[in-house]
Structure formats: C-alpha cells, structure tokens
C-alpha cells in the first residue's frame, strides 16, 4: 500500500505558533519573567544561555534551572558570545558543542534535567562551518531575519531559522502585537507590505528578545511582554518553546510522507528521525487520511486506533490522534475488544480549545493535562 496514512494537524491544533526567545542569560529575565510564566501556564518560552564574562552560566544557573523545571527551554547561545565565523574549528567546538554539555551539567547541578537541542548564533552570524558544528549536537538554530515567520508547508532552513528581532523603540510594542496578529492572520492586511501577508494562513512566528525590565536599553517591559504573551494566547497561537514547535514542524515533513504496510489485521507505518538531536519526545497530533481509510476498507464505525508500544491510542472528538513521533512506528488497526473498543460517541470527549494548548517539556513530561485527548501512555522508550 503506497498510501500515506497520516496528516499532521498544523501547529498542534492551533491557528499558528509563537516562540518567544530570550538571549544572553540576563538576570532581569529570571527576576521578571518567572512570576509572569508562573501565572500564564499556557505560555512556555526559550532562554538562550551564554557564558559572557566568564561566569554568567554559574551565576544564573539556579534561576534558569527553575524556569527549565517549569517547562521552558534552555538553549545554547555559545560560551563566549563571539563572532563565530571568525573562529577556528577547535574554537567552534568549545564555543558550541562543549558549551551545550556544560549547560546540561550546570542545569543538572541545579536539579533540572535539560536536553539542549537548539542554538542561537551570537549576532546571528552564521556560515557553513558554524552550521556544521551546530549540526553535530543540535537540530535547529535561530538566526535573525526579517519577518520571522514560517509557513506550515514550506520546510525552513533548520540551521538558519529567521526570527523577528524585538528592538526597544516607541513603536516596538505595537509592532510586536501586530506581528502576533499577522502570524495568526487576524486583521485587515489590505494596506500592508507584501511580506506581511505572504503567509496564507497561520504561521509560526519566532521572536528574539533581550532584557525584560523597565530600565530601557534593549529591553521590553514586564507589562509589555505580558500583554504580548496574552495576545498570543488570545490569537490561539501555540505559544511554546523554539525546539518544541521546531520539532513538531520538522517531524511532519517526515511523518506525512510515511507509507503504510499491511501487517496482520492492521497496517504498520515506520519512519526515521530527520535529525539525531531532536527532543526526546515529540508528540504529534495527526489525522488519518481519507485515501488511506478508503484503501484499507476502514469505516467510521470501525473504532480505529493507533498502537504504539503495545498501547492503543484513541482519537479525540475531532478525530485527532496524538502519536509519539520518536517511537518511529505505529500500527493502525481496529480497536481490540478488551474495553478499548468503546464506540467514540460513548467517550464524550469535551470540546475545549484551551485544553488543546498542550505543553510538554523537552523530555516529554506532560505539564498540563489535556482533557480532550485520550492517550494511553507509556511508549517503550
């Protein structure tokens, strides 16, 4: 059977996505963002740590470890924050690869299990040699760029992802809110620049921020960042870390091409990881294609389930299944008769768009219970 059975639901079921990233391991990020993120539990962000000045990492380790334990991502902004294209191969290794190990160690010393999967190049200066070093240890890199938006159907340059740089100015906050509207495709774009409307539908906006304080400079005020977070949620953007959204986006280009092979009573689908250094868990919300269901002779009354690690995964009210991409295979079959084959209508899943804003940490720990997805957990990994 050459039919592709899966279509990944864009942006985890949201209109689009927004990843807020904060660079340079600044003290005011810890001080001012921790209480906001404690309050807005549907927002999780990325902190790109650097060791600028020689002891930045140890000085801020406890604060960022706490943020990591809340489900925020810790990424790699290099040891010395240098112009990477000017460095030797050996120096690139210590700046990027060795520093990723060091970040994980300092986080572990502070009680946080962190898996560094993303880099942000200092000054957004990148070249082939720099990208090659990043690729040895991480699957994604954030550079600067223009509008910072990514279309669902277009595979981006994973080691040179564009981001929209937030700069402090009188109009910066209004521009930030407008960027979040544009990502969600809300509003009237009749008079906008062409690049503002080039994405037809919801897109993923990557934002680059620095300080979070009332003291000016390259900072956004805590009140403004909080209103930006809230705007992202109001616009139904999946407001999740850079690696989380990036891994979901990257995985779909693989999964949606995977083909089904007849296997006993069902069909087996296998695929490979597109990169060895992705998050340890990548839950994907998928639908079964009509072509597949037809070719397999399955009907809507068949109570089709996915099976991974011996566990059956039933669909939610919208017919979406949440599969674990890193399990690298799934079987599609009729539900077994041992209690899991209860007709879908008897499960009465509740419609709840907020609940679909599912946040996992990068080790796959479910940080927020999602009531409308029936995942029977435990993947044999």
Nearer to Zn ion, 47 or 248 (CB): 47
The nearest distance, CB 77 to Zn ion, in angstroms, is 6
The nearest distance, CB 86 to Zn ion, in angstroms, is 16
CA 169 to centroid of chain Cα atoms? 29
Nearer to Zn ion, 9 or 120 (CB): 120
The nearest distance, CB 191 to Zn ion, in angstroms, is 35
Q: What angle do CA 315, 321, 324 make, to 5 degrees?
A: 140
User: What's the CA gap between 307 and 359, in Å, rounded?
Assistant: 22
Contact between 85 and 125 (Cβ < 8 Å): yes
The nearest distance, CB 55 to Zn ion, in angstroms, is 17
Q: Is 235 left (phi over 0), alpha (psi -120 to 50) or beta?
A: alpha
The nearest distance, CB 190 to Zn ion, in angstroms, is 37
Residue recorded with tokens 């898996």 = 115
Q: Rounded to 5 degrees, what are φ and ψ at 174? A: -60, -40
The nearest distance, CB 210 to Zn ion, in angstroms, is 7
User: What's the CA gap between 338 and 161, in Å, rounded?
Assistant: 47
The nearest distance, CB 24 to Zn ion, in angstroms, is 4
The nearest distance, CB 23 to Zn ion, in angstroms, is 4
Nearest residue by C-beta to Zn ion? 23
User: What's the CA gap between 76 and 101, in Å, rounded?
Assistant: 10
Nearer to Zn ion, 71 or 122 (CB): 122
User: What's the CA gap between 278 and 116, in Å, rounded?
Assistant: 9
Q: Helix (H, G, I), strand (E, B), or coil: what is residue 68?
A: helix
Of 152, 174, 113, 165, the C-alpha closest to 11 is 152
> Could you tell me where the beta strands, DSSP code E, fall in the chain?
6-8, 16-23, 46-49, 73-76, 118-120, 140-142, 149-151, 164-165, 203-209, 211-212, 219-220, 237-239, 260-263, 266-270, 283-288, 304-308, 311-313, 321-324, 329-334
Q: Rounded to 5 degrees, what are φ and ψ at 158? A: -65, -30
The nearest distance, CB 211 to Zn ion, in angstroms, is 11
Binding site for Zn ion (CB under 5 A): 23-24, 122
Nearer to Zn ion, 140 or 373 (CB): 140
Q: Six-digit token pair at 64?
A: 């960022």
Of 172, 183, 164, the C-alpha closest to 221 is 172
The nearest distance, CB 201 to Zn ion, in angstroms, is 32
CA 24 to centroid of chain Cα atoms? 20
Q: Six-digit token pair at 41?
A: 């539990």
């Amino acid at each position: 059977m050459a039919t592709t059975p899966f279509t990944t639901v864009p942006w985890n079921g949201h209109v689009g996505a927004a990843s807020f990233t904060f660079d340079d391991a600044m003290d005011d990020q810890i001080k001012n963002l921790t209480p906001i993120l404690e309050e807005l539990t549907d927002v999780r962000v990325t902190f790109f740590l650097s060791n600028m000045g020689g002891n930045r990492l140890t000085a801020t380790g406890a604060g960022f470890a706490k943020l990591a334990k809340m489900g925020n991502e810790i990424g790699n902004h290099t040891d010395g924050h240098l112009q990477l294209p000017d460095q030797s191969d050996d120096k690139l290794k210590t700046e990027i690869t060795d520093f990723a190990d060091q970040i994980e160690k300092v986080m572990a010393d502070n009680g946080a299990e962190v898996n560094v999967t993303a880099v942000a190049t200092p000054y957004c200066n990148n070249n082939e040699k720099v990208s090659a070093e990043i690729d040895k240890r991480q699957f994604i890199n954030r550079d600067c760029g223009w509008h910072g938006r990514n279309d669902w159907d277009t595979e981006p340059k994973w080691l040179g992802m564009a981001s929209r740089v937030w700069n402090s100015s009188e109009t910066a906050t209004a521009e930030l809110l407008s960027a979040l509207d544009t990502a969600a495709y809300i509003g009237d774009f009749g008079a906008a620049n062409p690049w503002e409307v080039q994405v037809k539908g919801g897109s993923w906006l990557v934002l680059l921020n620095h300080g979070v304080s009332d003291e000016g400079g390259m900072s956004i005020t805590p009140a403004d960042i909080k209103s930006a977070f809230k705007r992202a949620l109001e616009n139904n953007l999946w407001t999740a870390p850079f690696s989380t959204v990036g891994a979901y986006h990257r995985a779909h280009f693989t999964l949606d091409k995977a083909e089904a092979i007849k296997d006993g009573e069902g069909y087996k689908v296998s695929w490979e990881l597109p990169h060895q250094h992705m998050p340890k868990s990548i839950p994907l919300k998928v639908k079964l294609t009509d072509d597949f269901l037809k070719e397999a002779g399955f009907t809507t009354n068949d109570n089709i389930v996915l099976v991974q690690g011996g566990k059956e995964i039933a669909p939610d009210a919208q017919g979406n299944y949440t599969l674990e991409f890193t399990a690298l295979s799934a079987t599609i079959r009729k539900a077994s008769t041992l209690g899991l084959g209860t007709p879908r209508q008897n499960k009465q899943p509740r419609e709840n768009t907020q609940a679909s804003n599912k946040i996992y940490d990068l080790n796959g720990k479910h940080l927020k219970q999602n009531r409308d997805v029936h995942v029977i957990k435990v993947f044999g990994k």
